[in-house]
Amino acid sequence: MAHLYSSTLFLIIGTPLALGSWRTLALTPVLLMVLYFRIKSEEKVLVRDFVGYVDYQNKVKYRLIPFVW
């Protein structure tokens, strides 16, 4: 799933830049917040439904961007 979110991150940022759509680029912070809350809600479900997911979270420090988050 991390690949899906990483590619979504590139789409959110890259598409407006590639198309020169500065209005859409202005929405980027809002879309990034939507992505953040989506990831957080999915992690709650994974912690609830999968034994060992907390151990996985402790082992994997970065969720989306290496050395950032």
Domain ranges for the chain, please list them.
Answer: 2-59
pTM: 0.75
Among candidate residues 2, 19, 6, the one with its CA nearest the CA of residue 60 = 2
Model confidence over 22-51: pLDDT tens digits?
A: 888 899 999 989 988 998 999 999 999 999
Angle between helices 2-19 and 28-49 (to 10 degrees): 170
As a whole number of angstroms, the distance between CA 46 and CA 48 comes to 5
What is the overall mean pLDDT for the chain? 87
